[in-house]
Amino acid sequence: MSAHQQGTELDLSWISKIQVNKPAVLRRAEQIQARRPVKKEWQAAWLLKAVTCIDLTTLSGDDTASNIQRLCYKAKYPIREDLLKALNMHDKGITTAAVCVYPARVCDAVRALKAAGCDIPVASVATGFPAAQTHLKTRLEEIRLAVEDGATEIDVVINRTLVLTGQWKGSDFIKTSTGKETVNATFPVAIVMLRAIRDFFWKTGNKVGFKPAGGIRSAKDSLVWLSLIKEELGDEWMKPELFRIGASTLLADIERQIYHHVTGRYAAYHDLPMS
């Protein structure tokens, strides 16, 4: 809910006065990456927390109903059950936060999740992803069709012309990038975004979510992102309602690390065939 919806005028004049201390941001980014984010004995618990914040994503030109079905199965069963049993977490209903697909594949995802008896949300990139350089009427229609097909979350690609000319809009979440750029989720940019979220919360009382996306592939990366969220915004943001990680291959590495934590050895390719 935006400040405007709560009956207070949204005053964004303070945004134009913000200055970023770039050297300090870069030092903070180096610091967060250099240290071990989580003690070894807590790593499995933190990795499972990361799983519950993943928007499990496929955004390929060759997506088909069958690979969407596999994605949805993996979203419902992200970690092998015997590994969860070894951690006494098999009955906690651990799933990914959502699956994220192109608008044309929303129907496939909704159908697959329904068949699996699962209520994981379907998110869709809409509004002319990834460049947003299509007519407004077309972008709005794309959102409408995705929602009609069963998407409950939309990753809107903003028209960057509006940003570059200072025409800011409100949102429930802000996302680092489409994941399709040469440079995507970086820690310096994330720090600036997280502090903007914090400032906005202090000024308005509204919590805005955060989603890094693009290039987040390792379990270690996910721990660093969680640590950054905890330190910059606090425990309240460490939940899927306010934090998501957009990723396609990250889950496979998290499952490999949990396998190693449980068994003491690294998984062979056939040990985790769904990864």
Task: Choose the catalytic residue: 76, 92, 175, 207.
Answer: 175
d(CA 208, CA 206): 6
**Number of Cα atoms under 13 Å in the Cβ half of residue 221:** 20
Q: In what order do the strands lie in the sheet with 245-247?
A: 153-156, 122-126, 98-101, 54-57, 245-247
Ranges of beta strands (E only) in 20-136 are 54-57, 98-101, 122-126
- Helices 106-115 and 65-76 pack at an angle, to 10 degrees, of 50
Asked if 217 and 253 count as a contact pair (C-beta separation under 8 A), the reply is yes
Task: Choose the catalytic residue: 22, 211, 220, 239.
Answer: 211
**Number of Cα atoms under 13 Å in the Cβ half of residue 33:** 12
Q: Is 203 a catalytic residue?
A: no
Q: Is 175 a catalytic residue?
A: yes
Catalytic residue annotation:
175, 211
